[in-house]
Amino acid sequence: MTERITAWQCIGCGRIEGAQPCVGICQDRKTDFVYASDYDAALAQLALARQQSETLAALVRQLAYTTPRKDDWERSYRALQARARQTLGTPAEGEQPKPMRSKAL
């Protein structure tokens, strides 16, 4: 993760200043900042999206590289369909939805 610094923000105008002494060569420049909580939320969403992408890619790889035995295509198709439903959290008829499992970071 990125290193964080503590700064002071004016509650009136919003000016942000770091706790550094001026050495006499400073120049103010316009800069964009985000709140650490917003950054953390974005990182959490990114981690979830990556995990979901990896799960879906594994399913697509299985579909791409699986060749069913002769006269057994329907069973293979149904098994892939069930795995896809489980991955998406969509229940088959008569089943309750199962939430996606996330990996610990």
Q: Within a domain: residue 51?
A: yes
**What is d(CA 12, CA 43) in angstroms, rounded to the nearest whole number?**
29
pLDDT value for 101: 56
Contact 87, 55 (CB under 8 A): yes
Domain with 65 in it: 34-93
Contact 51, 103 (CB under 8 A): yes
Q: Is the pLDDT of residue 77 over 80?
A: yes
CB burial of residue 62 (10 Å; 0-12, 13-18, 19+): middle
Q: Is the pLDDT of residue 23 over 80?
A: no
Q: Within a domain: residue 44?
A: yes
Q: Within a domain: residue 45?
A: yes
- The structural domain count of the chain equals 1
pLDDT in tens, 36-60: 899 999 999 999 999 999 999 998 9
Q: Within a domain: residue 8?
A: no
Q: Within a domain: residue 23?
A: no
Strands of the chain (E only): list them: 7-9, 16-18
How many other CB atoms are found less than 10 A from the CB of residue 84?
Answer: 15
pLDDT greater at residue 30 or residue 99: 30
